[in-house]
Amino acid sequence: MNVLVTGGAGFIGSHAILRLMEDGHTVTSIDDFSRGNRGAIAALRAVGPFEFVEGDVGDRALMATLMRDRGIDLVMHFAAKAYVGESMDIPLTYYATNTSASIALLQAMDDAGVERIVFSSTCASYGEPPADRVPIREDCPQRPINPYGYSKWFVERVLFDHGRAKREAGRPFGFACLRYFNVAGNDQKSRLGEDHRPETHLIPICLEAALGHRKSITVFGTDYATPDGTCIRDYVHVSDLIDAHITVMSALGPGDERTYNIGIGDGSSVREVIEATRDVTGRAFEVIEGPRRAGDPPMLYADSSKIRDELGWVAKHTDLRGIIDDAWRWRQVHPHGYGEQ
């Protein structure tokens, strides 16, 4: 299959390219490097051939030409900004990058006659579900509490409306929205890693502290209604997440409208992640308790039984320490991320 991966220089997008190449698919990718990492593209080129274009997913003409020229069968759309706190400060940027650019991409797909997309959505679209709705099922009301969550939820709404219009026009359009939770770990052969600039994800922040690159880490909020007072999140291994994308891609047919939660079905608190990182690395680091951040719900973890029952996908990596250990192995070889290469 000819697959276009948007945001291919990012953490998740690069892992998608790796898996697609290993499975024998023809891959084209695009990234504007506003958040992606050139080192990830270099690492992928060492594995195998794929076409990479530096450009803007929101450029309709560019995207339509690229899809026509490459004979694209399906799009995996990862390109986005994904920092909750930042989205509170610069919401217009999030709506432009995540929502408007996705609409332009869909228009380009229409121009090029590409009729299938797997969309990288988010658990942030659920907002702050009541305790009796956790673990979260796909039928939980989507009520975002930050611009990041809204920017992704709007794209889901656009996909359903676009799918209906295409169906009524006799040109069925297939899409899947994968609402995933916190993604961690890395390629188990340590060819790719997690290296955001700036880094806001808890596990790599803890690893940076263990390496001595941070003087301390801050726990944002210790008074949540959780067992230890800190936020609880579902950490899914990036390899499992990409396996879910491949599974959905293979099953996605004309006119399909699919939504799936992707997670392990259990949550770990911020304090538990810190202690697990200390155990895995054997290193201590300072922890500072700070105030809550705006837009952070106390508890988010998935019920992923729908994709299990419909497509047979289940997470294989469910041990938090194992997930952290995978990330730690890459960080020991690349202590400053891709900047070392």
Q: What positions carry a catalytic annotation?
A: 148
Helices (H), ranges, the chain:
11-22, 38-45, 60-70, 84-89, 91-94, 101-112, 147-168, 202-210, 238-251, 270-281, 305-311, 320-333
Structure token pair of residue 28: 């084209």
What distance in Å separates the CA atoms of residue 48 and residue 50, rounded to the nearest whole number? 7
Q: For the chain, what is the largest distance between any 2 Cα atoms, rounded to a whole number of angstroms?
A: 61
Contact of 66 with 28, CB cutoff 8 Å: yes
What distance in Å separates the CA atoms of residue 338 and residue 341, rounded to the nearest whole number? 6
Q: What are phi and psi of 124, to 5 degrees?
A: -65, -15
What distance in Å separates the CA atoms of residue 60 and residue 156, rounded to the nearest whole number? 19
| Alpha carbons within 13 A on the beta-carbon side of 285 | 27
Structure token pair of residue 185: 């770990």
